[in-house]
Amino acid sequence: MQQGEAAAAREYFESGLAISRELDDKFGIASSLSFLGDLARTEKDFSRARPLFEESLALFRGLDNKSAVSDALNNLGAACFGEGEFLLSKRHFAEAANLAFDLGNKMTISYSLDGFAALATEDGDLPRAAQLCGAAEALRESIGYKIEPAEEVFRNAYLEKLRARMDDVEYDAAFERGLSTSPDKAIALAFKERVVTPFEESRSPNFAERTGSNLGLPDANSIAVLPFAHMSSAADDEYFCDGLAEELINALAKIEELKVAARTSAFSFKGKNINIGEIGRALNVANVLEGSVRKAGDRLRITVQLVNAADGYHLWSERYDREMKDIFDVQDEITVAVVDALKLKLLGKGDDQLLEALVEDLKHYTDDVEAYQLYLQGRFFLNKFTTNNSYKSIEYFDRAIAIDPDYALAYVGLADAYIALTEMGPLDPIDAMPKAKEMALKALSLDSGLAEAHTSLGMVLQDYEYDFAAAEREFLQAIELNANSPGPRQAYGILLTELGRHDEAEAQLRKALEVDPLSVVGNWIYSFCLFLSRRYDKAIKRAERTLELDPNFGVAHLSLAFAYQMKGEYEKSVESYALCSEVMGFPENAGYVRESFKAGWDAFLRSMTTSSANRPMMFSSYIVAVFFAMLGDADGALAELEAAFAKRESHLTMLKADPRFDGLRDDPRFDELLDRIGFPK
């Protein structure tokens, strides 16, 4: 559509919208909003299109016009996709496909399939994307439907990316398979169909439920475990409540058929008065486990209830009055009871032998209750992510090991604490990382199937020893052992990004966020990787999302500083550097940063490359090298990079991908440093 035609069309629909509002014609209002949204989407102005589609969807829902609702959901899914909100996009396309299938609306199904093809392209599942693309085209041909301009823009955008990534022969073969795929099988492919039980088959005509997988809607076999309410009089017992919930999360996450929201997301609701329905929607889970703990000496009263997030009904509840020495048995009983309560949806049958096998698989890494409580206290403090609490966690892990020298998880705790202290700054990598490696290896010598230990070891191999191939093996092993855990996927996503394998990294990071959407660390890692892959606007958006989750998460400001720097928005970059110092408790550093910029960007860079007590403490040799590089001072930058290498700074692992060093890439000294670090050619 030409610019003049688009302007005329917009004026026409805006006039129609005004008339419809004056007449309070809900259908007319919703239709005009949809047309205006389509115009904005055709121009790729998704931030303008999205609120128009949201309002039209709400109106069509109010009119109970299911056909219009399904179209509106597809429109909104495409707008969210354009803004990079892939999980929201997936949810809207899934609901649209459900409705369209029930209505037999092939036109709308074809649009939903294009949406899933675009998502599969972003996920790197290229053969599935091509097959879905073919299936969408076959549906349109079967009814003689000519694709609309806005839909065509959406389809062409993902097709261009898909064709660029796929071999022509492979694409053609998958597309041809799609052309001969029936609508029901195409939707099953979009939803990654699994085997359907007779019970499920009889429950509902809705296709997504029959295939057991609402991609964007909560899976029936999904659950979040909330932190247990602390009902004891002793404030110090809070660690036990958190630890009990975390242990249940870990036990349930090892069940392959169950999707379990990760700890950081589930615990983000701690102490907040939010209803179960809202929590279920936020975490995209169908079930929520909540409870309370009252502890008096060695006596425990643990109350637990499993709640359907959609309607608030209790699926199961129980009260356990036990002694502390029985805590491991109680954890097993709760885990088995949850699985038993969900078994018709989760396993498709009531199989007592299967539950017995589950009990046998549940593992406790110590039989000593005192060591266990010390370990829980160590994790409690480590999860606070501060320097002082990390040191405190080491004391508790050491005490747990003193009681039980074969306590593998306690060694992992020590490894993670030492890694955290190098990342936060107080410990030099040369002093702390060898200890972290020793602890991870000790844990693996006690239990080679411990995913957490493989992840910790991988981080040492990546960030300290720069052995990228060995680190990748450890992360892959951890993912194989516990696919539900976001930690290994986050670490692996960082590694893949630093090696320039951005599509693979994107897939891992998004899978991590699917089970841990409210993770501050997970969202920040994603923003950092978006920056390294040179998608600066998306990096900024994700860093802002991180700060919405936790305004005091200082390093998210660094992601903003880096991205604004590369966009040439220097004032915003400097302010982000200052805010990082401010949030992390160094107001004098923040003042120095702001003062340095008063004479301009070059003056700021010169101040940051000059040794000063006021230079921010979190500015490693690597970051100072960045400032030298931005000044065009290759000698200064390389000298700081050599210092970073001598200190084994973890930041150095992003050197190959870091766009801020593009000016040094023709310098043979830079190539030689990359070789010494060990980056693959």
Residues 242, 256, 87: CA angle, nearest 5 degrees: 75
The pLDDT, as a whole number, for residue 205 is: 35
In whole angstroms, give the CA distance from residue 9 to residue 6: 5
Amino acid 487 reads G
Name, in order, each residue with C-beta under 8 angstroms of 119's C-beta and a sequence gap of 6 or more.
81, 86, 89, 90, 93
Highest mean pLDDT among 35-39, 209-213, 347-351, 476-480: 476-480
The pLDDT, as a whole number, for residue 557 is: 93
The pLDDT, as a whole number, for residue 525 is: 93
In whole angstroms, give the CA distance from residue 485 to residue 660: 32
Q: What's the mean pLDDT in 425-450?
A: 92
pLDDT at 9 over 90: no
* pLDDT band with cut points at 50, 70 and 90 for residue 7: confident
The pLDDT, as a whole number, for residue 628 is: 96
Number of Cβ atoms within 10 Å of the Cβ of 83: 15
pLDDT digits (tens, 9 = 90+) for 227-245: 888 776 666 667 777 877 8
CB 381 within 8 A of CB 336: no
Name, in order, each residue with C-beta under 8 angstroms of 159's C-beta and a sequence gap of 6 or more.
133
Q: Is residue 361 helix, strand or coil?
A: helix
Q: For the stretch 553-580, what's the b/e string if a residue is b when 16 or more beta carbons lie within 10 angstroms of its beta carbon? A: bbbbbbbbbbbbbbeebbebbbbbbbbb
In whole angstroms, give the CA distance from residue 348 to residue 346: 6
In whole angstroms, give the CA distance from residue 77 to residue 41: 11
In whole angstroms, give the CA distance from residue 406 to residue 442: 9
Q: What's the mean pLDDT in 609-630?
A: 80
The pair of structure tokens assigned to 478 is 């951890």
Q: What's the mean pLDDT in 625-647?
A: 95
- pTM value is 0.63
The pLDDT, as a whole number, for residue 664 is: 96
pLDDT at 300 over 90: no
DSSP letter for each residue of 499-562: TT-HHHHHHHHHHHHHH-TT-HHHHHHHHHHHHHTT-HHHHHHHHHHHHHH-TT-THHHHHHHH
Q: What is the dihedral of CA 303, 308, 314, 316, to 10 degrees?
A: -60
The pair of structure tokens assigned to 370 is 């005192």
In whole angstroms, give the CA distance from residue 493 to residue 475: 10
What are the CA-CA distances from residue 6 to residues 3, 31, 34, 52, 653 (Å)? 5, 17, 15, 17, 48
pLDDT digits (tens, 9 = 90+) for 387-433: 788 899 999 999 999 999 999 999 999 999 999 888 876 788 999 99
Question: For the ranges 150-154, 224-228, 530-534, 568-572, which has the lowest average pLDDT?
Answer: 150-154
* pLDDT band with cut points at 50, 70 and 90 for residue 551: confident
The pLDDT, as a whole number, for residue 211 is: 28
Q: What's the mean pLDDT in 338-343?
A: 68
* pLDDT band with cut points at 50, 70 and 90 for residue 476: very high
Question: For the ranges 66-80, 181-195, 505-519, which has the lowest average pLDDT?
Answer: 181-195
SS3 content of the chain, % helix, strand, coil (to 5): 70, 5, 25
pLDDT at 169 over 90: no
The pLDDT, as a whole number, for residue 194 is: 28
Residues 294, 297, 299: CA angle, nearest 5 degrees: 55
Share of the chain above pLDDT 70, in %: 89
The pair of structure tokens assigned to 332 is 């097993």
User: Which residue(s) pair with 305 in the sheet?
Assistant: 290, 317
| Mean pLDDT, the chain, integer | 83
* Entry field: residues in the chain: 681
pLDDT at 347 over 70: no
pLDDT at 285 over 70: yes
In whole angstroms, give the CA distance from residue 589 to residue 642: 25
What are the CA-CA distances from residue 464 to residues 131, 194, 431 (Å)? 43, 42, 11
What are the CA-CA distances from residue 444 to residues 139, 371, 433 (Å)? 53, 19, 17
DSSP letter for each residue of 102-154: HHT-HHHHHHHHHHHHHHHHHHT-HHHHHHHHHHHHHHHHHHTPPPPHHHHHH
CB 564 within 8 A of CB 572: yes
pLDDT at 209 over 50: no
CB 406 within 8 A of CB 375: no
In whole angstroms, give the CA distance from residue 513 to residue 647: 32
Q: Are strands 314-323 and 222-225 parallel, antiparallel or unpaired?
A: unpaired
User: Which residue(s) pair with 534 in the sheet?
Assistant: none
Show the 3-state SS of 393-446: HHHHHHHHHHHCCCCHHHHHHHHHHHHHHHHHCCCCHHHHHHHHHHHHHHHHHH
Identify which of 87, 88, 70 has the alpha carbon closest to the alpha carbon of residue 34: 70
CB 474 within 8 A of CB 480: no
Number of Cβ atoms within 10 Å of the Cβ of 153: 18
Name, in order, each residue with C-beta under 8 angstroms of 59's C-beta and a sequence gap of 6 or more.
26, 27, 29, 30, 33
Higher pLDDT among residues 548 and 438, named by residue:
438
* pLDDT band with cut points at 50, 70 and 90 for residue 475: very high
pLDDT at 176 over 80: yes
CB 295 within 8 A of CB 98: no
The pLDDT, as a whole number, for residue 350 is: 45
Given its phi and psi angles, is residue 569 left (phi above 0), alpha (psi -120 to 50 degrees) or beta?
A: beta
Residues 290, 515, 185: CA angle, nearest 5 degrees: 115
The pLDDT, as a whole number, for residue 196 is: 31
* pLDDT band with cut points at 50, 70 and 90 for residue 150: confident
Residues 551, 77, 146: CA angle, nearest 5 degrees: 155
Alpha helices of 600-660 — where are they, by DSSP H?
A: 601-608, 621-631, 634-647
pLDDT at 585 over 80: no
The pLDDT, as a whole number, for residue 278 is: 81
Question: For the ranges 79-93, 125-139, 462-476, which has the lowest average pLDDT?
Answer: 79-93
Q: Is residue 645 helix, strand or coil?
A: helix
In whole angstroms, give the CA distance from residue 197 to residue 171: 33
In this structure, is the dihedral angle defined by the CA atoms of residues 274, 277, 283 and 286, taken in order, positive or negative? positive
What are the CA-CA distances from residue 279 to residues 230, 252, 312, 337, 546 (Å)? 19, 19, 11, 22, 18
Number of Cβ atoms within 10 Å of the Cβ of 388: 10
What are the CA-CA distances from residue 248 to residues 120, 271, 301, 364, 461 (Å)? 32, 19, 16, 11, 30
User: Which residue(s) pair with 316 in the sheet?
Assistant: 306
Identify which of 586, 630, 635, 576 has the alpha carbon closest to the alpha carbon of residue 607: 630
C-alpha atoms less than 13 angstroms from C-alpha of 336 in its C-beta half-sphere: 19
The pair of structure tokens assigned to 429 is 């990598």
**H-run or E-run covering 12:** helix 3-23
Question: For the ranges 203-207, 273-277, 300-304, 546-550, which has the lowest average pLDDT?
Answer: 203-207
Question: For the ranges 24-38, 319-333, 350-364, 609-623, which has the lowest average pLDDT?
Answer: 350-364
